[in-house]
Amino acid sequence: MSDIELLSVIERYLNGEMSADERARFEMLRHDNPTVDSRVIEHQQFTEKLKQYGERVEFEGLLNAIHAEIDVQALKEEFVHHPSLIVRIWRNHHSKISLAASIAIFAVLSTLFFTGYLKTQANQSEVIALSSKLAKVENSANKLKQQTDKLIKIVGAGKIDQSKYTPSGTGFAISADGYIVTAMHVTNDADSLTIQNANGDAYHVKQVYADPNTDLAVLKIVDPSFKTLGTLPYGFKKRADVGENVFTIGYPLDDMVYDRGYLSSAAGSNGDTVRYRVAIKASNGNSGSPLLDANGNIIGIINSKQGQAADAPAYAIKSKYLYRALTAMAAESSTKKISLNSKNVLASMSPDQQVARMQKYIFNVKVSNK
Amino acid sequence: MNNNTSISAPTDNEAILGILNNSESMLKRIYIAYFPMVLQLIISNNGNEDEAKDIYQEAIIVLYNKVKSGNFELSSKLKTYIYSICRRLWLKRLSQMSRYGGDIHDFQEYLPVDEDLVSHEERDIQFSKMEGALSELGEPCRTIIEDFYIKNRSMQEICEKFGYTNADNAKTQKYKCLQRLKKLFFQQK
């Protein structure tokens, strides 16, 4: 019996298609022949699996057909929890909302930061403290610089760095020990003062007296290197007459300038009795220049002029106010009063000789305002 | 559609009787009655409606096999049983997909159903192997095998359908196809 025939016999047996006789004979064969028996069992099990497979496929088809009738979406709507509008908006847009909120917070913080709102009071006082510290540091640096400047000056035997000083006016010595007179408006507001004569001698000076009523100022040479100016060649005279020839030496520019004219009035502008009116060429830098008579006596100190025109009249503070100023200064500082020299050696000299003798004592006053 | 969903749930006794009698209408009533519960379970636990369908249908198959094998005891409600099976199947699916967060949001009480699922898994493996073997078998073998062994068609019908001139040719063909299918089946993993 071939395998094919055996299979069809087994199938007929399993399907119950055999007659009772045939069935009995096959069962005998199956009983006697284990190979046939195992073939029967094996075939039975395998076809059972095939049937189960078929049943399941059919059943799944049935289930799918039923499932297709269910409105799953409607059911889903029921179960998907229906959150409130706000929650739904949050769920749908939370990334956008978060981003917007971050930007808003960032914007607020950066605005507060840049407007300085976030700085606390403590910080502010710290800033103030820092700035005052900074000012202190600056001050001490400046002091150091000044000291260094002085040292340089000592080492350099009287050389002063002139570059930071601006020529402002003229001054002249009133005593051998270093007192200089100038106009107060020349030195006012100056932080630091130097004077320099035509010989190139330069000194640091400080203002020791100033009278706003007369516009007179007295300076003193404070350089440690300074010893003495020597005897002054000119004298001082309280009186002067209208019509007298006068001359002046000053520093309207960087260089010393000599000029002469005449005393045109005993009174200044608008009945001013403090000053003379002088017909003489004068410029801004002439403020503080000595006004001398032909004999070389100082009768006044030039301090202003009428307008800016070149030939406009100048005004000179009368010398008697210098005497008064020195008296006041001595009282104020309780020092010995400076006595002004009344003799002079210039009387018989020609103007060029007079200038040559005087130039050492006439200074260009330079100021530094930082 | 809506009148279908409004069909009232069968009593458990009705349901079991219906299953044993292969009643399609009862299958439908059962299916419609308990699907929403399972849908809720799956959707509330990281699943979607398609996964709910798969899990639910698998559970119905488990229920049918259990009832038909005569092992179903009405010690619990049918509803609880279906829920428990689905819950177990879904937990397994979640861990396979690495989507299981360690916690499941429950809506019903549930039973331990691991034993039922062991026998189900065995059947499931056999089913998959047969499915794989048949798909590799090719035509006309697949149709011949399905017609004869599953659809219980006679050899006469098969001869006519495939135009075999005599029954012996058909027999030989069927034999060869069956041998190949067995070979493929046991090769399946």
CA distance B70 to B75: 14
Contact status, residue A327 vs residue A339, Cβ threshold 8 Å: no
Classify residue B148 by burial, with Cβ atoms within 10 Å: 0-12, 13-18, 19+.
Answer: buried
pLDDT category, B14, cuts 50, 70, 90? confident
Alpha helices in A80-188 (DSSP H): 85-114, 121-155, 184-187
pLDDT category, B57, cuts 50, 70, 90? very high
pLDDT category, B122, cuts 50, 70, 90? confident
**Domain ranges within chain A, ordered by starting residue:** 3-68, 163-368
E-strand stretches of A306-352: 314-318
Task: Tell whether B24 is within 8 A of chain A (Cβ).
Answer: yes
CA distance B22 to chain A (A): 10
Domains delineated in chain B: 2-111 (1.10.1740), 119-187 (1.10.10)
Give A 63-92 residues with CB within 8 A of chain B.
Answer: 63-64, 66-67, 69-73, 75-76, 78-80
A118-137: burial string, b at 16+ Cβ within 10 Å, e else: eeeeeeeeeeeeeeeeeeee
Q: Return phi, psi of residue A4, to 5°.
A: -65, -45
Cβ-proximal residues to A234 (8 Å cutoff; 6+ apart), any chain: A290, A292, A296, A297, A298, A341, A344, A346, A358, A361
According to CATH, the topology of domain A163-368 is Thrombin, subunit H (2.40.10)
CA distance B187 to chain A (A): 14
Residue of chain B nearest A74, judged by CA positions: B2
Classify residue B20 by burial, with Cβ atoms within 10 Å: 0-12, 13-18, 19+.
Answer: middle
Query: Are residues B145 and A63, on separate chains, in Cβ contact within 8 Å?
Result: no
Q: Nearest 10 degrees: CA dihedral of A101, A106, A112, A113?
A: 170
Instruction: Concatenate the DSSP letters of all residues of B150-184 into one string.
Output: IS---HHHHHHHHT-SSHHHHHHHHHHHHHHHHHH
Classify residue A308 by burial, with Cβ atoms within 10 Å: 0-12, 13-18, 19+.
Answer: exposed
pTM listed for this prediction: 0.46
Beta strands A297-305 and A290-293, pairing class: antiparallel
Helix (H, G, I), strand (E, B) or coil at B117: helix
A24-57: burial string, b at 16+ Cβ within 10 Å, e else: eebeebbeeeeebeebbeebeebbebbebbbebb
Query: Are residues A70 and B32, on separate chains, in Cβ contact within 8 Å?
Result: yes
Full pLDDT tens readout for chain A, 370 residues: 677 878 888 888 888 788 888 888 888 888 888 888 888 888 888 888 888 899 889 889 989 988 888 887 777 777 666 656 677 677 677 778 888 889 999 998 888 888 877 665 555 555 555 556 677 777 888 888 887 776 655 554 445 566 777 878 899 999 988 999 999 888 887 888 899 888 888 899 998 898 888 889 999 998 888 888 888 899 999 888 999 999 999 998 778 889 989 999 888 777 788 889 999 888 878 889 999 998 899 999 998 887 777 778 889 999 999 998 888 888 887 778 888 888 888 888 888 989 998 989 999 998 887 6
CA distance A14 to A41: 10
Residues of chain B found within 8 Å of residue A50, distances taken between Cβ atoms:
130, 145, 149-150
The residue to which tokens 């069968």 are assigned: B10
Q: List, for residues B139-182, the tens digit of each pLDDT value.
A: 888 888 888 888 888 888 878 887 777 777 788 888 888 888 88
Peptide bond preceding A252 in cis form (omega within 30 of 0): no
